């Protein structure tokens, strides 16, 4: 695995902070930026960053890899500036949970041969620099969405090197297929967890009244609402598509309970158990 001399990480939250820590641990000089100067200074003082970028991002021209680790709406804005400034970069990537919009923006900016979208599957209800750690990506899968099938071989190889350095497996996927899958596996579960929390609040129940199973079901609702709002809105059409399938299943379950249809209820529970228990 070839490591670059210098990489830039824009955004030092849970994901960006963990990338900076992981790369620094592998001897890469990391230049970092965060809207919160305290985070960047803390990262500098603890030796994770070699340098702090100012808001003009001057110095970005020296970075071989540029990693944008901010919520998708900010990432879309930032990508235009990065495309102008990062003249030496062989890889520009992001870590957003949705991939269609940033992929389209990279193509529009003429970055197809240098941009590869990344999505490490390490979601957590924790967030921020304080929660970051060098081993966050160890053993996790990272999806890679190359913006060009024909011209991005070098960038794709660099993206694979980046995630390999961080201990993550990579898997290629198109941006559309990624977003459809993420809608079902991550975004819809988040909507459900939030909706369950809201329902329990309306019913006058406190979280301390939950058993272990209920607690698991509302854990991801603890995620940052600004981040999750941008994710859900960016992928709203495909979240809605996945939700329709869920609504249909939920209505069937409701009818079966109302009619005390023991056979249907047991069959649904058995299929859910079988699916959930499939080896991983």
Of 174, 178, 162, nearest in space to 231 by CA: 178
Residues 6 or more apart whose CB falls under 8 angstroms from that of 177 comprise: none
- In the complex with a copy of itself, the residue whose CB is nearer, 22 or 120, is 120
- In the complex with a copy of itself, the residue whose CB is nearer, 157 or 241, is 241
Closest distance of CB 278 from a copy of itself, Å: 5
Closest distance of CB 115 from a copy of itself, Å: 23
Closest distance of CB 114 from a copy of itself, Å: 28
Residues 6 or more apart whose CB falls under 8 angstroms from that of 20 comprise: 9, 12, 30, 32, 43, 48, 49, 132
Give the C-alpha separation, 134 to 166, whole Å: 8
Closest distance of CB 176 from a copy of itself, Å: 14
Of 233, 183, 181, nearest in space to 76 by CA: 233
- Report whether 20 contacts 44 (CB < 8 A): no
- In the complex with a copy of itself, the residue whose CB is nearer, 44 or 196, is 196
Strand partners, 146: 116
Q: Which two tokens stand for residue 170?
A: 């990579």
- In the complex with a copy of itself, the residue whose CB is nearer, 117 or 152, is 117
Q: Which residue shows structure tokens 């490591």?
A: 3
- In the complex with a copy of itself, the residue whose CB is nearer, 67 or 188, is 188
Q: Which residue shows structure tokens 């030496």?
A: 88
Other residues' Cβ atoms within 10 Å of the Cβ of residue 122? 17
Give the C-alpha separation, 228 to 187, whole Å: 8
Closest distance of CB 75 from a copy of itself, Å: 17
Closest distance of CB 180 from a copy of itself, Å: 8
38: enclosing H helix or E strand: helix 37-45
- In the complex with a copy of itself, the residue whose CB is nearer, 107 or 126, is 126
Closest distance of CB 31 from a copy of itself, Å: 29
Other residues' Cβ atoms within 10 Å of the Cβ of residue 24? 21
- In the complex with a copy of itself, the residue whose CB is nearer, 58 or 185, is 185
């Amino acid at each position: 695995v070839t490591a670059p001399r210098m990489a830039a990480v824009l955004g030092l939250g849970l994901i960006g902070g963990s990338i900076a820590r992981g790369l620094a641990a592998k001897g890469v000089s990391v230049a970092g930026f965060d809207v919160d100067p305290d985070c960047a200074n803390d990262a500098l003082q603890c030796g994770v960053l070699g340098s702090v970028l100012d808001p003009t991002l001057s110095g970005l021209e020296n970075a071989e890899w540029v990693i944008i680790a901010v919520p998708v709406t900010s990432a879309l804005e930032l990508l235009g500036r990065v495309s102008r400034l990062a003249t030496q970069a062989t890889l520009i990537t992001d870590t957003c949970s949705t991939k269609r919009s940033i992929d389209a923006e990279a193509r529009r900016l003429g970055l197809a041969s240098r941009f590869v979208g990344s999505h490490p599957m390490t979601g957590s209800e924790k967030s921020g620099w304080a929660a970051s750690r060098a081993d966050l990506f160890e053993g996790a899968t990272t999806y890679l969405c190359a913006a060009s099938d024909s011209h991005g071989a070098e960038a794709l190889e660099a993206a694979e090197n980046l995630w390999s350095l961080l201990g993550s497996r990579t898997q290629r996927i198109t941006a559309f297929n990624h977003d459809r899958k993420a809608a079902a596996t991550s975004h819809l579960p988040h909507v459900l967890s939030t909706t369950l929390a809201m329902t329990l609040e309306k019913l006058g129940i406190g979280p301390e009244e939950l058993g272990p199973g209920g607690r698991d079901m509302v854990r991801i609702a603890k995620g940052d609402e600004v981040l999750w709002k941008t994710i859900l809105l960016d992928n709203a059409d495909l979240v809605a598509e996945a939700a329709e399938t869920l609504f249909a299943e939920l209505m069937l379950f409701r009818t079966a309970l109302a009619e005390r249809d023991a056979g249907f209820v047991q069959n649904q529970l058995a299929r859910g158990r079988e699916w959930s228990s499939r080896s991983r």
